[in-house]
A and B are shown apart, each in its own frame.
Chain A
């Protein structure tokens, strides 16, 4: 069975260090899943490309074109890697807006790996005080290791260990969360209608 890993990356510059971290997290997840005998398909969503469509969705209430496809990739994913730059002590507005336009329940029970980037390591706890509560609210199944990369991490082994080792550990945790579990996701009410007699009795 092929496992779909969808990667949401909210970096704005080109090239983007957020994308760089997202690719490393996706590769680590891919390695760990393949070691466990799974086939893997990775889909990367650059939110910058969807920025106009996300704003339109906030205003009109429905996702158009490429955004509808992106939402489907998140909904259908076996696992999600979500990476944002830290702006003003939290996730970026674009990152939050994307998760704001998802239907309720889209991430329910879904294994999620969180990552963030910033210029300095002083922002690293934003993962814990901003991103983790957001995904707890969305009822996602967030793996214990969230990976923060400051600019310096891309060049050095820091006292807290190398970025590569944290990425590997996070990828293994996400793969563990995926293997052996049935695909989760919202129940489609159109496929599973509640008979009207039941609605009347409530």
Chain B
């Protein structure tokens, strides 16, 4: 099982000090956080993509390539890549390049984005969100898998005799996850291709995630990629820890109360009971996280949101120490002990390459 962190990349004022980081500070902090993730033994770092303030990550492959150059094992991913408003040709080229630079340490999570004006800024219409995600991703797959592509669709200028360069590393396209909070069409899409499905699992109750993941699993089996319990599932999550539970609650409360999205709404206590948010000791985080598999089944990837709502870099790095040193080692052991042998890990470049080599050998034998 893979453990990691994902970031939205928001520039938010620290409500306890009134300090707002500059964009420069926020971007540099993102790099420090990613490096720390590898240092404390996490597997994955994923960045969001946004094209409006107060967010900084508009150029995810630039940031991820910079991180790739400063790390050696960390898997670089996205949370999410805007498949609706980004030209699939650019995605094919940018992420294939990143694959080469990082020696295959890349996968992607496709998402639609939920900021209305971003669509018209990029010449699209938000009402086409689902059709854009479907058509663009279908083209992206072909660009990575077919040397020469002839293509015509509704949303992009046609391609005649087009070859996306560079070709994917070793001819193996990056593994793809599809993220959606509430659209069954996207779970359907992930299931159809046998891709991974990632549930945000932050803003909505567990019962909602259970339904989305259950749907994806049954459709994964329907499309013949394996049994439902072999479908490839990732979950988000949100935690804040201190050794002493009361200290965690006291320190996190002002960030929670003023946070973007849910701030000034439910109390911290209500929200932790209604959603998977856990604020407490490392042991509490371990117990809550182990409980996730009771409603989504055995899953392959757990990402935590750690650096939002104005939390200072120093605090985020302390959180990563606790996560990497006290929480994840226990989770690795406990999840592994519970997982049946026929449920596989999430595909990586190495495993996809090995599978293709084995398939090629079978054909020639």
Contacts and interface: CB of A to CB of B under 8 A. Distances in A.
A60 interface: yes
A198 to B, nearest CB: 10
Interface residues of A, number: 18
Interface in A11-56: 55-56
A190 interface: yes
B215 A190 contact: yes
Nearest to A189: B184
Contacts of A61: 203-204
Contacts of A193: 184, 188, 215, 219
A202 B261 CA distance: 33
Interface of A: 55-56, 58-62, 64-65, 189-190, 193-196, 199-200, 202
A69 to B, nearest CB: 12
A196 B215 contact: no
B19 interface: no
Contacts of B203: 60-62
Given A193-B219, A196-B188, A59 B134 contact: no
B266 interface: yes
Given A59-B266, A60-B203, 12 more contacts: A58-B265, A59-B263, A59-B264, A62-B203, A65-B274, A193-B188, A194-B188, A196-B188, A196-B192, A199-B185, A202-B131, A202-B134
Interface of B: 130-131, 134, 138, 184-185, 188-189, 191-192, 203-205, 208, 211, 215, 219, 223, 261-266, 270-271, 274
Nearest to B274: A64
A60 B205 CA distance: 11
16 contacts: A56-B270, A59-B261, A59-B266, A60-B203, A60-B261, A60-B265, A64-B205, A64-B266, A193-B215, A193-B219, A194-B185, A199-B134, A199-B185, A200-B134, A200-B138, A202-B131
A136 B174 CA distance: 48
Contacts of B192: 196
Contacts of A195: 188
Contacts of A190: 184, 211, 215
Nearest to A63: B205
A195 B184 CA distance: 11
Contacts of A56: 265-266, 270
B190 to A, nearest CB: 10
A20 to B, nearest CB: 32
Given A190-B211, A190-B215, A62 B188 contact: no
A201 to B, nearest CB: 10
Contacts of B205: 62, 64
Closest 7 CB pairs of A and B: A59-B265, A196-B192, A56-B266, A56-B265, A189-B184, A60-B262, A64-B274
B219 A59 contact: no
B134 A62 contact: no
Contacts of B215: 190, 193
Contact of A55 (B211, B219, B265, B271): B265
Nearest to B211: A190
Contacts of B134: 199-200, 202
A160 to B, nearest CB: 44
Contacts of B271: 60
Nearest to B191: A196
A202 B274 CA distance: 37
